[in-house]
Structure 1
Amino acid sequence: MAGLRERKKAATRKRILDCAAQMFREDGYEASRIEDIAEAAELSVATFYNYFGSKADLLLAAVLEETAMVMEAVEACIRAPVATLEEGFGAIVATYFRTSFQYSSREVWRMAVARTMLDPEAEFSRRYIEIDRELSDQLCRFLAEMQGRGLVRADVGTEPAGRLLFNNVNMNFIEFMRASAMTAEEIRSKVMAESAPLLSRLAA
């Protein structure tokens, strides 16, 4: 019974989050009300608060959900056979920008970043910083994997190199988030052009 109860709770939480994410995309974060989200999820407002303490909690949950999707897709890229380091990195960069804003939206990410700036000591900000660290760690693991396959020079420190690559990706993600007219292909091409000098130094 305990297992069934936990599954039902998880399903209810996911339903709330999915309704909120859809509302954030369609109506905007500020215009979306907890009452409307609860109604869309076929719950009372009181039940909603059993799962999320505030709309900001939903904002963070939406960012985390999308990040989990991105990281899962990147793991598949890391495992995939590639002929060159540039090919492998290009697949990851394409995944970043094609997956972003599919579940959430640019506005959700803008609000998330704004909250970290306004209250850097808050739990929300701490968790957001952890997300960046996890994504950065993943790129370091990618380089270590490529090094193990002989595609990255043996004398390369994969952790500092991975951090450098991620920092460039992250800065371009912020630009992508701000520029509503920019396409995923445009930002992918920009990241690859800016990363090319470093990739050429890393490649075996």
Structure 2
Amino acid sequence: MAGLRERKKAATRKRILDCAAQMFRQDGYEASRIEDIAEAAELSVATFYNYFGSKADLLLAAVLEETAMVMDSVEACIGAPAATLEAAFGAIVGTYFEKSFQYTSRELWRMAVARTMLDPEAEFSRRYIAIDRELSDQLCRFLAGMQGRGLVRAGAEIDPAGRLLFNNVNMNFIEYMRASGMTAAEVRAKVMAESAPLLARLAG
């Protein structure tokens, strides 16, 4: 019975989050009310607060949900065959930007980043920073795997290189988030051009 209760709670939480993400995309974060989100999820407001303490908690949860989707897709890229390091990294970069703003939106990411700047010591900010660390660690694991497959030269310093690649991706993500007219293809090309010298050194 405990397992069934947990599954029901998880399903309810996901339903609230899906309704909120859809409403945030359609109406905007500020215009979306908790009462409307609860109604869309077919719950009372009191039940809503059993799952999320505030609309800001929903914002973080939506960002985390999308990030988890992206990370899962990147894991598939990491395990896929690749002829070169550049091709493998290019598949990952494409995934980053093609999967972004499908579950959330540029507005939600702007709100999330703004919150981390305004209150860097808040729990929200700490969890957001942890997301970046997980993404950076994932790229380091990617390079280690490429080294094991002979696509990164032996002796290359994996961790610093992985952090550098992620920092470049992250800075371009911020630009992509700000520039509403920028396409996923355009930002991918920019990241690949800027990463090319480091990729060449890694490939040796």
Give the TM-score band, short-chain normalised.
over 0.9
Take 1:6 and 1:165, find their aligned partners in 2: how far apart are those partners? 39
Task: For 1:4, give the aligned amino acid.
Answer: L
> Are 2:100 and 1:130 aligned?
no
| Number of aligned residues | 204
Question: Could you give the per-residue CA deviations for residues 120-140 of structure 1, whole angstroms, max 9, x where no partner exists?
Answer: 000000000000000000000
Tell me the distance in 1 between the aligned counterparts of 2:3 and 2:167.
Answer: 41
Query: C-alpha separation between the residues in 2 aligned to 1:173 and 1:200?
Result: 22
Residues 1:43 and 2:43 are matched in the alignment: yes
1:21 matches 2:21: yes
Q: Which amino acid aligns with 1:196?
A: A
2:6 is matched with: 6
- Cα drift, residue 109 of structure 1: 0.4
Deviations 1:161-188 (A, max 9, x none): 0000000000000000000110000000
Instruction: Name the TM-score, length of structure 2 as normaliser.
Output: 0.99
Separation in 2, partners of 1:41, 1:67: 23
Question: Are 1:60 and 2:60 counterparts?
Answer: yes
Question: What amino acid does structure 2 have at the position aligned with 1:65?
Answer: E
Moved over 6 A (4+): none
Question: Which residue type is aligned with residue 151 of structure 1?
Answer: L
C-alpha distance in 2 between matches for 1:190 and 1:90: 11
User: Which residue is equivalent to 1:186?
Assistant: 186
Give distance in 1, aligned partners of 2:80 and 2:61: 29
SS of the residue 1:181 aligns to? coil
Q: How does 1:61-100 map to 2 (within 5 A)?
A: 61-100=61-100
Paired letter, 1:86: E
Q: Deviation per CA, 1:72-129, whole angstroms, max 9, x where unpaired?
A: 0000000000000000000000000000000010001000000000000000000000
Q: TM-score normalized by structure 1?
A: 0.99
The aligned residue for residue 152 of structure 2 is: 152
- The unaligned stretches of length 5 or more in structure 1 are none
RMSD: 0.5
Q: Cα deviation per residue 1:131-164 (whole Å; 9 max; x = unaligned)?
A: 0000000000000000000000111111000000
Structure 2 residue identity aligned to 1:114: A
Match of 1:114 in 2: 114
Q: Displacement of 1:2 after TM fit?
A: 1.0
AA partner of residue 87 (structure 1) = A
Quick one: which amino acid aligns to residue 10 of structure 1?
A
